[in-house]
Amino acid sequence: MKHRTLVHTKLAGWLIVIIAVSVFSVGVRPGQADAAPTISPATLSGGQVGTPYSVGFSATPCAGTCNWSYTGTLPPGLSMFGSSIYGTPTTAGAYAFSVTVTDTGDGTASQTYFVNITAPALTFTTTDVPGATVGQAYSASFAASGGSGTITYAMSSGNLPSGLTFNNGQIIGAPARGTAGSYSFTITATSGTTITQQAFTLTVDKGTFNAIIGISDGLVEGQTKVYVGGTLKGTLNGGDTIKVSGLDPDSIATVSVDSIVPVPGRTDIRYRAEQSSASVSQDSPQITFNYYPEYDVELKTDPSGITTISGSGWYKQGQPLAVTADDVVTQDTDSRYQFSYWLAPGGDKIKSQTLNIGISQAGQYIATYDLYYKITIASQFGSVQGGGWQKAGSTMKWDVNPMEIAMPGVLGFFGGKYKALLSTGTEIVEGPKTVTVQWDADYTTPIITIPLAILIVAGIIYGIYALVRRGQRAPQPIPYPSPYQAPPPPYYPPYPMPPPPPPQQAMPAPQTTVFMIGDGLKKPPQNTREQLMEKFGELLQKYEEELAQGKELPQSAEMTEMGPIMEKKSLPSPDINVIDSMPEKASPVEECGFTTKKLLRTVVTQWQNTSIKPIVVTPGDKKSAALAGGRTVTWTRNTYNEWELHICKLPTGHKGTHKGATEIVYSVLDTINEDRNYGPKQPLKPPIPHYTDGMPEVDIPASQIISSDQLPA
């Protein structure tokens, strides 16, 4: 079909030439043919596209000046200059044109020419294509020459491996995995009406792949070995990479590194790989092994060996360490150790009994204990302040209140009391100790009051006795005068004189009442006077016995129940039994309730690290990258107001100066929190400077901290 089209095109060209010749022949005037010059050559040879072409014309005769021109269509690429046509044809085809010469002396002549421009043969200049490798970029181009115009290319048969595509004379892409082998295909080139074909074969090799193995910057010190398939490929530092080539793309290679890397010259720090083995393949040819530091942490006590604290071992950087030390370690009944603080490796003291921190360095965390001894303050009377468990080497103050206490029984009723020889004192705590408060019996008041009471009672008894005897005594007779005396004056009694007594009759003896005091038989009292005399005799006898013994009276059961304070009771009336009238138990004595406060100063506690967190590195931030592996520490410090409280311990309603206890307490004024960043090896030091620096630092027991609303108004 294409051949027929080419033949038709050539016939049309010759027809155009014939028509043009006829036109030019009609245009020649009669009579001029003999005078016109003759143009040579008579015919022109054909040309080829892309091949230079030239031809020169001449006229015979030419008597004058000959001027040349042409009419019609020259083959594209050819031009006429003077008497010559030359150039390089670009388009194949049959072309007809007339060349005219004008002679200034003999006239004008024209000659028609036919030129056939043919196209060169269309052939492939590319005869084969390079081989391809699986997974690698590939490109190949096809070229052909000849033809009569633009050459186009197409794949007319065959196929390419997956991953490669054909586009207008070029193959591009990368062969997919599993496409290794040979592929045959045919490329067709077309230029105008000219077509040619060429067969090609593409070989795809499975090739090899390269693995890139890297070690992270976390391996700050030491080196790790890298193995691929069990074969040592190199030794790398942190941040280094290694390229392993020649690996089979159809297999998966196992890469391993040292799981633990020791640090030269140190035994308390090492580096551990997050994973020590991984796989690489053609699809995933790159891997990086990450390392992090581990610190050897030892938990101990000071003094050593008093108790066991579990938790020692290797800790990842930033891993929390949470352990609670025993508050009290008992040695025996009179001595024990009490927790004081944790001593961190950097020298920091952590007051909290529970250690809850993020590990950032190796070393020992020592639970420090203070030795305490049991101090006993023994006192037969009164209420004792002080004693208990006291820190070794400290100075303990004790006191007893009240300093005086009434004696139990009758002596106390008459003002007898016990006085503390020493009501307060201090002791240097060097070991277990019992401090006994000595009391001295004071009989001064009973010595004075009991004889006075005896005299008063005796006077009362004697007066009652005299009155009774006077009422029982008979009137006495008037004796006769002696013969040696003058007679008395006349006596006129208002009543008749009694008869004189018989001679030699004596006066009756006075009657006497006898009381038996003690456990022997006694006559039961018959009246109030006798009862009073009996009780007074018993009281006097008991007082004499106590004075004769000259020692402290034992504390009675009534005294134990009534406590250290007894109210003095008034002497009951004579008709009331003294013993039966005593109360079974004294009512409790209420304290005065007078309290004062005095602000002494403002103090602070030591800095405590209450929270440790690893620093999060922001990608692209140089400032945070410089702190990689560091930690953020939250420091806390409390400020307190120190108060002096005076609390009266005397009974309610007392007179005179208040007496009692003085206490030092603290109320929270403010809590300061401050976050600070520290590098991986930077020691943890509290904030310096700070506006609280210079304030007095006080170690405040929890028992001395009260809220502000508990302070007196």
Output the pLDDT for position 541: 64
**Mean of the pLDDT values across residues 485-497?**
46
- CA gap 92, 121 in Å, rounded: 12
Q: Which residues partner with 316 through β-bridges? A: 294
Name the DSSP class of 573.
P
**Mean of the pLDDT values across residues 80-88?**
91
Residue 680 has pLDDT above 90, yes or no: no
Q: Which residues are CB-contacts of 100 (< 8 A; sequence separation ≥ 6)? A: 68, 69, 70, 71, 108, 109, 110
Output the pLDDT for position 188: 93
pLDDT level of residue 472 (50, 70, 90 thresholds): low
pLDDT level of residue 585 (50, 70, 90 thresholds): very low
pLDDT tens across 474-485, in order?
555 544 444 444
Residue 262 has pLDDT above 70, yes or no: yes
- CA gap 19, 595 in Å, rounded: 143
Output the pLDDT for position 577: 38
Residue 290 has pLDDT above 90, yes or no: yes
Output the pLDDT for position 588: 53
Average model confidence (pLDDT) across the chain: 79
Q: Give the H/E segment covering residue 678.
A: strand 660-678
Q: Are β-strands 241-247 and 269-273 bridged in parallel, bridged antiparallel, or unpaired?
A: unpaired
pLDDT tens across 34-44, in order?
467 888 898 99
Closest by CA to 628, choosing from 617, 640, 620, 637, is 617
Residue 137 has pLDDT above 60, yes or no: yes
pLDDT tens across 516-547, in order?
333 333 444 445 555 556 666 666 666 556 55
Output the pLDDT for position 524: 47
Identify whether the C-beta of residue 442 lies closer than 8 Å to the C-beta of residue 602.
Answer: no
**Mean of the pLDDT values across residues 119-148?**
88
Output the pLDDT for position 30: 40
Output the pLDDT for position 689: 73
Residue 17 has pLDDT above 80, yes or no: no
**Mean of the pLDDT values across residues 45-63?**
87
Tell me which of 17 and 406 has the higher pLDDT: 406
**Mean of the pLDDT values across residues 588-615?**
83
Residue 415 has pLDDT above 80, yes or no: yes
Among 421-425, 426-430, 485-489, the range with the most confident prediction by mean pLDDT is 426-430
Residue 86 has pLDDT above 60, yes or no: yes
Pick the range with the lowest mean pLDDT from 294-303, 488-497, 545-554. Answer: 488-497
Residue type, 155: M
Nearest 5°: phi and psi at 9?
A: -65, -45
- CA gap 138, 133 in Å, rounded: 8
Q: Which residues are CB-contacts of 214 (< 8 A; sequence separation ≥ 6)? A: 236, 240, 241, 242, 286, 287, 288, 289
Strands in 304-407 per DSSP E: 313-316, 320-324, 328-332, 335-343, 349-350, 354-358, 363-379, 383-385, 388-391, 395-401, 404-406
pLDDT tens across 617-643, in order?
777 776 666 677 788 889 899 999 999
pLDDT above 70 covers what percent of the chain? 77
pLDDT level of residue 669 (50, 70, 90 thresholds): confident
Cross-sheet strand order for the sheet of 404-406:
404-406, 417-420, 439-442
**Mean of the pLDDT values across residues 241-262?**
91
pLDDT tens across 687-700, in order?
887 888 888 989 89
Residue 4 has pLDDT above 70, yes or no: no
pLDDT level of residue 141 (50, 70, 90 thresholds): very high
- CA gap 688, 680 in Å, rounded: 20
pLDDT level of residue 614 (50, 70, 90 thresholds): confident
Output the pLDDT for position 554: 41
Output the pLDDT for position 533: 61
pLDDT above 90 covers what percent of the chain? 35
Residue type, 607: W
Residue 135 has pLDDT above 90, yes or no: no
Number of H helices, E strands in the chain: 7, 47
| Residue 695: both structure tokens together | 């304030």
Output the pLDDT for position 97: 93
Output the pLDDT for position 665: 92
Q: Which residues are CB-contacts of 99 (< 8 A; sequence separation ≥ 6)? A: 39, 57, 68, 69, 70, 80, 110, 111, 113
Length of the chain: 713
Nearest 5°: phi and psi at 457?
A: -65, -40
pLDDT level of residue 186 (50, 70, 90 thresholds): very high
Pick the range with the lowest mean pLDDT from 147-151, 337-341, 401-405. Answer: 147-151
- CA gap 216, 240 in Å, rounded: 8
Output the pLDDT for position 157: 92
Strand, helix or coil at 385? Answer: strand
Q: Which residues are CB-contacts of 340 (< 8 A; sequence separation ≥ 6)? A: 368, 369, 370
Tell me which of 131 and 474 has the higher pLDDT: 131
Residue type, 642: E
H, E, C per residue of 607-659: CEEEEEEECCCCCCCHHHHCCCCCEEEEEEEEEEEEEEEEEECCECCCCCCCC
Identify whether the C-beta of residue 591 lies closer than 8 Å to the C-beta of residue 650.
Answer: yes
Tell me which of 600 and 533 has the higher pLDDT: 600
- Burial class of 372 by CB neighbour count within 10 A (0 to 12, 13 to 18, 19+): buried
Q: Which residue has the tokens 């005897």?
A: 469
Nearest 5°: phi and psi at 186?
A: -120, 135
Q: Which residue has the tokens 């630092």?
A: 697
pLDDT tens across 337-381, in order?
999 999 999 889 999 989 988 998 899 999 999 999 999 999 888
Separation in Å, CA 88 to CA 114, 393, 553: 17, 121, 154
**Mean of the pLDDT values across residues 550-563?**
39
Q: Which residues are CB-contacts of 326 (< 8 A; sequence separation ≥ 6)? A: 307, 339
